[in-house]
């Protein structure tokens, strides 16, 4: 089946979404954490209703926009969801000005603030030669992560609604807040969404599938020092900053992100704030293997206990909590969603590429809420900064892939 996605409309949608400042902020007690996300959510509600989707709504309790495309076949078939996030990362997102570069030829793109996009610095730009490249203006991020995913999802709905001859089962759409700060999916209504499985659209390389994520924990360490005048410090001063350095030095030197790749885990000192009297260190702990993950947490706590030994009372105190788990432990029990994604990618003329994702997605949490949710591509590169780019054609491949997946799922031709 040949699929012709409406690329001019998809491009216009993406640019419209990109111009809304949806940067999220941690530590806020509202959902979404920023009003721009609600602005984009309301825009999507109106657009999805105009397209003709059913049950379109914005849940004020969790900030998710959801919508339903009913099945158009009587044949029993699995239902699936398509999910993308509204927010962008912690980089300037005010006054985003998308720039369109038709028939990109690989020549340097220079921005007025002195930054440049070059193939020499970013070799992945080669994949966009001959395509319509979209960038920011060098002063903000573009919002590819994840507004390209949103645009691809909406283009999928538009195509399927306009082509009832393409048979499909029930498909649900979900657009949620605060993925970048790791809190949005905590409130996802999996029971209400109620699909057999789903996909997030939250990484770049066309054809890519990710279903292995880290197991993740965060540890906040507070250190009590003793501050006295340095001229009288002998045998009295206990420098909390020095103790913090001792903690970091006690962890394995090469178990850090800068020395790790593939399935290797790590400890990362994320923040270190301190004075002589007190200090706070924030670590994240990551591993793909659940047993190794638990062993890392135990090692961390053992290290803390050992550092406390010389003192008459604990100088190191730890608060540790798990953040998310490796969804592969669930998805491997029934790999049908992976096989369907591979078949859809192949039908769209691409080669499936399955890689471990060295992070987490909303799908990590949604999977453990009962809906297996691997991650698919959104077509962009250089996320979270002024060098973000995507092409109109790459976003079109998202929609083309999802349409093929919908048809293949309904036909029952994928094992």
Which residues fall within 8 angstroms of residue 281, CB to CB, at 6 or more apart?
220, 221, 223, 244, 247, 248, 269, 271, 272, 274
| Residue 132: both structure tokens together | 């319509």
Strand 116-117 versus strand 109-110 pairing type:
antiparallel
**What's the length of the chain?**
415
CA distance 170 to 397: 21
Cis bond upstream, residue 146 (ω within 30): yes
Is the distance from CB of 286 to CB of 269 less than 8 angstroms?
no
Which residues fall within 8 angstroms of residue 388, CB to CB, at 6 or more apart?
135, 136, 141, 142, 143, 144, 145, 380, 381, 382
Is the distance from CB of 214 to CB of 292 less than 8 angstroms?
no
**CA dist list (Å): 122 to 43, 105, 125, 394:** 33, 14, 6, 17
**CA dist list (Å): 198 to 30, 104, 201, 211, 242:** 26, 34, 10, 12, 48
CA distance 374 to 341: 9
Q: What phi and psi values does residue 335 have, to the nearest 5 degrees?
A: -80, 15
Active site amino acids = 87, 179
Is the distance from CB of 373 to CB of 197 less than 8 angstroms?
yes
* Burial letters 35-50, b for 16+ CB under 10 A, else e: ebbbebbeebbebbee
């Amino acid at each position: 089946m040949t699929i012709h996605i409406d690329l001019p409309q998809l491009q216009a949608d993406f640019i419209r979404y990109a111009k809304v400042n949806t940067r999220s902020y941690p530590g806020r007690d509202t959902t979404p954490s920023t009003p721009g996300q609600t602005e984009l959510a309301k825009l999507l509600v109106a657009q999805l209703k105009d397209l003709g989707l059913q049950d379109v709504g914005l849940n004020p309790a969790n900030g998710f926009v959801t919508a339903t495309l009913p099945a158009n076949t009587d044949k029993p078939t699995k239902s699936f969801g398509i999910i993308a996030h509204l927010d962008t990362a912690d980089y300037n997102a005010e006054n985003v000005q998308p720039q369109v570069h038709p028939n990109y030829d690989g020549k340097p793109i220079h921005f007025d603030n002195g930054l440049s996009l070059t193939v020499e610095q970013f070799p992945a730009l080669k994949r966009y030669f001959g395509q319509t490249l979209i960038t920011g203006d060098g002063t903000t991020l573009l919002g590819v992560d994840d507004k390209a995913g949103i645009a691809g999802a909406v283009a999928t709905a538009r195509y399927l609604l306009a082509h009832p001859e393409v048979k499909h089962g029930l498909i649900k759409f979900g657009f949620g807040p605060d993925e970048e700060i790791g809190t949005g999916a905590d409130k996802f209504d999996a029971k209400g969404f109620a699909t057999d499985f789903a996909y997030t659209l939250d990484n770049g390389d066309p054809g890519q599938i990710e279903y292995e994520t880290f197991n993740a924990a965060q540890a906040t360490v507070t250190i009590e020092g003793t501050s006295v005048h340095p001229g009288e410090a002998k045998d009295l001063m206990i420098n909390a900053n020095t103790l913090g350095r001792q903690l970091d030095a006690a962890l394995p030197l090469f178990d850090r992100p800068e020395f790790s790749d593939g399935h290797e885990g790590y400890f990362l000192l994320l923040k270190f704030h301190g004075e002589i009297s007190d200090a706070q260190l924030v670590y994240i702990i990551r591993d793909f293997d659940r047993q190794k993950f638990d062993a890392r947490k135990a090692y961390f706590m053992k290290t803390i206990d050992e550092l406390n030994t010389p003192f008459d009372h604990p100088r190191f105190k730890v608060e540790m909590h798990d953040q998310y788990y490796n969804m592969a432990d669930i998805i491997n029990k029934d790999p049908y969603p992976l096989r369907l994604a591979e078949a859809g990618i192949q039908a769209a003329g691409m080669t499936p590429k399955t890689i471990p994702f060295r992070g987490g997605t909303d799908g990590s949490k949604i999977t453990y809420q009962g809906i297996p949710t691997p991650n698919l591509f959104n077509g962009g590169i250089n996320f979270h900064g002024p060098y973000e780019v995507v092409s109109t054609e790459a976003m079109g491949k998202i929609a083309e892939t999802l349409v093929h997946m919908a048809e293949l799922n309904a036909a029952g031709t994928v094992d």
